[in-house]
Structure 1
Amino acid sequence: MTDLGGTSDAVAFVGEWHGPVVATAVHAGHELRPAIAEAMVLDEAERFREEDPFTDRLAAVVPDRVVTTRSRFEADLNRPRREAVYRTPDDCWGLDVWRDGDLSDELFEGSLATYDAFYDALAPRLDRLAERGPFVLLDVHSYNHRRDGADEPPAPVSENPEVNVGTGSLDHDLFGPLVERFMGDLRDASLGCGPMDARENVAFEGRNLAWWVHDRYPRVGCVLALEFKKTFMDEWTGELHDDRFRRAQQGLAAALPGLHDELARLR
């Protein structure tokens, strides 16, 4: 792992970043800066359940990637800046997070600094990728599907695919064939890992990171916001299911060559 200058300890970069496929896992972090940890009353297990544990290991199938260590409860890197710090329960699923019921202005500003450090560090690296032509950023997340309880039925499969590919802000005229190739490869059992139930924009369409990239690099940047359903782990205990997780890793890795093929056609 290398911290390539000008970043905080909350963000670092792995790989050479020569492109054209890179990855992020902005909700994988669990760490908190000490002042935030002291102010927080949210149970750690409950916080872990709302984070995206292990998605950094999914993103690691991509050699060039961003590593972020801080919890989304310090700064949510996938929300617009004005919404990035959870100050009240209304900001985060009704959870009571802070000792005094609200977050102080001082701690709020410190968390915004964490947010800004991420985007300030990412921008110049993506600028250099964009100079070479179209690129793909895989924004790797996960989502809960047993919110009613550990012993209750899971959410309906019809509305909760194994992999939700979010493309809400993507230029479909240009990148539509790339998206179809990617989802087709995830579904293709002949690649040695599937088939995976991959569907587009069923439960999630991608948020701020995708918006930011698509706005900054029109007709060049392509973000696929990937939400892996937490069938690879027990979302209530945090236990990882090794075999299922390995299949998810293999599925994502098997779809990478197709992305390179499609980008080559665009170039």
Structure 2
Amino acid sequence: MPQSLTIPPVHSDALWTIERGVSPIVATAIHDGHAVRKELEGLYALSSDERLREEDPFTEFISRDVPNRIVFHRSRFEVDINRGRDGAIYYAPEQAWGLTVWKDGLSSDDAKTSLQTHDDYYEVLLAFLKGIERWHGRFVVLDIHSYNHRRGGPAAAPTEQAKAPHINIGTSSLDRARWSHVLDVLTDHFQSFEIDGCRLDVRENIAFQGKGEQTRFIHEHFPLTGCAIAVEFKKFFMDEWTGKPDLDVLKKLRGIVASTVPLLEQALGSEQ
């Protein structure tokens, strides 16, 4: 694997990047983005670093070896693709971890432009997954995210392990009767790894329950053929206050995710 975390350059105005392979396994990194429209830059009450702390940097890197991928390049502080349209813009602090996002609010025209991105993304996602469905009959989407565990500050104690597993599997909208065999394969595989001598703590619906809009949307539109699983990595692969990554840990996580692909393909095929 390359030593660099960089990706091939994308146009500064790019909304997302899509890679299509010959596999029924898809990964998305829809909170990886940090870019915002130029006309919004002066409207934020938050600094770039403050926004970055609540984004999911390096989730693109973790997902890089999955054959089909969607990476969203805009910040969730412009439009949160993983929330329903009505909540996709953070107007109030209670929508954004208590943070005041805008200096003086957001105009209706600016909001309309951001929400158009939300509409367009889901239109593209639907078409993309219909193509995967045509080729393979069924598919698995790994909806990859990360989460903070040092909210008290850089010197404060982290969230206790009981409430913050290394990997949180979110399954709120998942049809367990239909997809438990896929979920079990994924969870068991993740649990089989150690990083720095520590067995990965992988649990379901602890820190998060997988209630994001994307998994809900997939299960609504592909109730019999689409298995979408939210995979939340605790930010033990980086310093969430400085943004500095631990490249060795990230490379291991990337390899672990890549190694799930043949197992998930086999699990899908075993039920056809």
TM-score normalised to structure 2 length = 0.90
Distance 2:119 2:23 in 1: 23
Specify the code of the residue in structure 2 equivalent to 1:96.
T
> Which of 42, 48, 52 is equivalent to 1:38?
42
Specify the code of the residue in structure 2 equivalent to 1:12.
T
Structure 2, unaligned runs of 5 or more: 1-6
Is the counterpart of residue 153 in structure 1 residue 157 in structure 2?
A: yes
Q: Is the partner of 1:232 in helix, strand or coil?
A: coil
Alignment match, 1:99? 103
Is the counterpart of residue 120 in structure 1 residue 123 in structure 2?
A: yes
Alignment match, 1:53? 57
CA positional deviation for 1:68: 1.2
> Which of 16, 33, 38 is equivalent to 1:11?
16
CA positional deviation for 1:194: 7.8
Structure 1, unaligned runs of 5 or more: 3-7
Q: Is the partner of 1:168 in helix, strand or coil?
A: coil
Structure 1 residues 194 and 119, CA gap change in structure 2 (3 angstroms): farther
Specify the code of the residue in structure 2 equivalent to 1:48.
L
Is the counterpart of residue 64 in structure 1 residue 68 in structure 2?
A: yes
Contact 1:41/1:98 (<8 A) preserved: yes
Contact 1:26/1:78 (<8 A) preserved: yes
Distance 2:198 2:108 in 1: 48
Q: Deviations over 1:132-165 (max 9, x none)?
A: 3110001000000000111111101011110001
Q: Is the partner of 1:246 in helix, strand or coil?
A: helix
CA positional deviation for 1:256: 2.0
Extract structure 1 runs of 4+ deviating beyond 4 A.
none
Distance 1:61 1:196 in 2: 20
Distance 1:93 1:158 in 2: 21
Alignment match, 1:111? 114
CA positional deviation for 1:189: 3.7
Alignment match, 2:30? 26
Alignment match, 1:5? none
Within a 5 Å distance, the mapping from 1:1-267 to structure 2 comes to 9-16=14-21, 18-100=22-104, 102-131=105-134, 132-189=136-193, 195-206=199-210, 207-267=212-272
- Number of residue equivalences: 258
Taking only the aligned residue pairs, the percentage that are identical comes to 38
Specify the code of the residue in structure 2 equivalent to 1:97.
V
Distance 2:184 2:267 in 1: 10
CA positional deviation for 1:202: 1.2
Q: What is the Cα-based RMSD across aligned positions, in Å?
A: 1.8
CA positional deviation for 1:14: 1.3
Contact 2:27/2:63 (<8 A) preserved: yes
Specify the code of the residue in structure 1 equivalent to 2:222.
Y
